[in-house]
Amino acid sequence: MAIQRDPIREWREHYARCCLHLDFAPLNDVSFHASVTPVFAKLPIVRTELSPGFVFRDEDLVRDGDNNFGFLISQSRNLDNMHQGREVRLGLGDATMMQANEPGRVGSCESFGFVEVMIPPAEWDARGARPSDALMQRFWGKSDAMQLLRGYIRSLERMRHAASFDSLEIVRCHIVDLVVLAATRHRPVGESSASAVVVARRATALDHITSSFQDPELTLATVARDLRISPRYLQRLLETSGTSFTAVVNELRLQRAFTLLTEAGGGERRISDVALQVGFSDISHFNRLFRSRFGDTPRSVRGQRQ
């Protein structure tokens, strides 16, 4: 008679306890799934997704000597955390902090997920911060600092490529700075010139532009308004990466136009319709920019594809 597999037991014994130094207690009568993936190569940030239940570290597991602080960002509507005799419930985007050298658990009666940033105590000391004050506190996901941190992490997830050692060290420092900022500052960050804030705000601005570039009414002023920063500050953010608002928008629109003209069925689209679809309201201006960017006219590029 074949022995029935127990996927939860296998995951716990062969991966969770031995590799992650975690354990998992599932709820009864639910299908099991688990995913633990790095957010960005070689950085101490992981995204965890689990079926209903609790992931935890018990008295046995905390003997591994790990004393890092884990900053947990909820990816669920309700995420329950228990640690140091305290409980806190997080909503989507909220965060709290736990320390690995004491038992604790995180979970939900529904499928749940969280992003965790692991930070050694020395990193807090180097910044003159007191991590003990942040343990089991609820950090509102819509605070200025939390939105900057989450936006920067999202930008790292989209990159997903190995960086040089120097680049990784810079990114790691930015992440730690943003976590400390989120855990210790309760006022809006404002138009700071701090390196971590600049890169996080720039990443958020570029994300916003990328999702809205096809809107013909998109302007520097409207993006700045949506991000609650001044147009001049947004302009400076883009200049630090060697570009401008107009250059970013035009490149996104031209690349999208090129795709539309060369993909299957592109020959059925009028050039003017493509220009309008990607956000250009002046067809002549579109033609000039397209030829300058790709070395040929939109009509010729479409003809070559056909």
- Residue 258 CB contacts under 8 Å (≥ 6 apart), including other chains: 290, 294, 301
Distance CA 98, CA 73 (A): 11
pLDDT at res. 61: 94
Q: Which CATH architecture has domain 247-305?
A: Orthogonal Bundle (1.10)
| Ordered per-residue pLDDT tens for the chain, 306 residues | 445 567 888 888 878 888 889 999 998 777 889 999 988 877 889 999 999 999 999 999 999 999 999 999 999 999 999 999 999 999 999 999 999 999 999 999 999 999 999 999 999 999 999 999 999 999 999 999 999 999 999 988 887 655 555 588 899 999 999 999 999 877 788 888 899 999 999 999 999 999 999 999 999 999 999 999 999 999 999 998 899 999 999 999 999 999 999 886 656 778 999 999 999 999 999 999 999 999 999 998 887 765
Beta-bridged to residue 45, according to DSSP, are 117
Under a CB-based contact definition with an 8 Å cutoff, are residues 217 and 184 in contact? no
pTM given for the model = 0.85
Cα atoms in the 13 Å half-sphere on the side-chain side of 248: 25
DSSP per-residue letters across 193-221: --HHHHHHHHHHHHHHHHHHTT-TT--HH
In the prediction, which pLDDT does 142 show? 93
- Residue 249 pLDDT: 97
Residue ranges per domain, the chain?
7-139, 195-243, 247-305
Measured distance CA(285)–CA(282) in Å, rounded: 5
The CATH H-level superfamily of 7-139 is: Jelly Rolls (2.60.120.10)
